[in-house]
Amino acid sequence: MRKPWAKFPFGRKKEIPAGLYIKCEGCGEMVFKKQVEEKLRVCPACNYHFRLSARQRIDFTLDQGSFQECDADMTSGNPLEFTDLKTYPDRLKEHQERSGLKEAALIGHGRLEGKPIIFGVIDFAFLAGSMGSVVGEKITRAIEMAIEERKPLVIVSGGGGGARMMEGVFSLAQMSKTSAALARLDDADGLYISVMTDPTMGGIAASFASLGDVIIAEPGALLGFSGPRTMWHAVKMKLPEGFQTSEFLLEHGFLDMVVNRSDLKPTLSRLLDYLPVNAAPESPGQPDQAQASSAQSKNSHRK
């Protein structure tokens, strides 16, 4: 007897080539990967900003081929001889192989729409972008380069882990070290633009990421000190909906702007035009009257 369903045109199931679609973490939809890539890894349906690697961030922010990395070979020691399930050096090696980076931060010289800047970026893929002594040292060196070369500094943070527990107090010391360096940059009348991306938490949020002359964030990013669950355990009260998002923090005066990724480069370029860093005075320490007054007017404009 003919099977009753034989008249239905069952054919071979058509297969979608793997990797053509990706699931959006924002709206849960399957979205066409090529469209996401074309929008600099932003969901075309809901504007969810996917996380970027440090290399992608450099490609999307700086002029093509302009990035020249500094201190590329700096790696962490193991000052506390820390071991959990693995030794800290083994864990570093694993993350180096997985991410293709030596450490979570990259710093260097670059150009943004032709303007020379000092650029730093934190990659979440390397030990959750946590700030160990190498990240702190690299960020500090980037700040010092900005002071010495009188160039604007742009740092893109995305370090969810905050401090790096495997380095204990050495990690915590990086908060004051980077903050002190930024105070020197401020004394030198430099310019620092901080860009916070998802997620910027812990020691990074509590130090250099929050100390920009201008602080920008990408939409929907998680920004804060400790995670919502830890906060709830500490304060035992209902926290406002979305209290650690870019939009909430903008509304409460913590950020200057929330900028879509596609607008980030032109926005940074405009800010660099509006807030130029003065060229070095001819005789150091003896700025002439005109430079002193222009520095003053820039400061009053910015603060």
- Which range, of 11-19, 43-51, 111-119, 217-225, touches Zn ion by CB under 5 A? 43-51
Q: Which is nearer to Zn ion, 46 or 125 (CB)?
A: 46
Token pair recorded at residue 278 = 């003065």
Q: Which is nearer to Zn ion, 69 or 247 (CB)?
A: 247
Sheet holding 68-70, edge to edge: 68-70, 105-112, 115-122, 153-157, 192-196, 214-217, 257-258
Q: Which is nearer to Zn ion, 25 or 63 (CB)?
A: 25
Q: Is the dihedral of CA 52, 276, 273, 213 positive or negative?
A: positive
Shortest distance, position 27 Cβ to Zn ion, whole Å: 3
**For residue 65, how many other CB atoms are within 10 A of its CB?**
9
Shortest distance, position 122 Cβ to Zn ion, whole Å: 24
Token pair recorded at residue 43 = 């969901």
In this chain, which of 20, 23, 27, 266 binds Zn ion, going by CB under 5 A?
A: 27
Shortest distance, position 32 Cβ to Zn ion, whole Å: 11
Site for Zn ion contains 26 (CB under 5 A): yes
Q: Which is nearer to Zn ion, 34 or 98 (CB)?
A: 34
Closest by CA to 275, choosing from 256, 258, 251, 248, is 256
Shortest distance, position 69 Cβ to Zn ion, whole Å: 33
Site for Zn ion contains 280 (CB under 5 A): no
Q: How many residues bind Zn ion (CB under 5 A)?
A: 7
Binding to Zn ion (CB under 5 A) within 46-65 occurs at 46, 48
Site for Zn ion contains 24 (CB under 5 A): yes
Q: Which is nearer to Zn ion, 39 or 115 (CB)?
A: 39
Site for Zn ion contains 43 (CB under 5 A): yes
In this chain, which of 22, 45, 125, 231 binds Zn ion, going by CB under 5 A?
A: 45
Q: Which is nearer to Zn ion, 42 or 92 (CB)?
A: 42
User: Any alpha helices (H) in the chain, and if so which ranges?
Assistant: 33-38, 54-61, 88-99, 133-149, 168-187, 202-205, 228-235, 246-251, 261-274, 289-302
Shortest distance, position 38 Cβ to Zn ion, whole Å: 15
Neighbouring-strand partners of residue 115? 112
Q: Which is nearer to Zn ion, 20 or 27 (CB)?
A: 27
**142, 182 contact by CB (below 8 A):** no
* Per-residue CA distances from 128 to 84, 258, 301 (Å): 16, 23, 36
Cis peptide before 284 (omega within 30 of 0): no
Residues of the shown chain interacting with Zn ion in the complex, contacts defined by CB under 5 A:
24, 26-27, 43, 45-46, 48
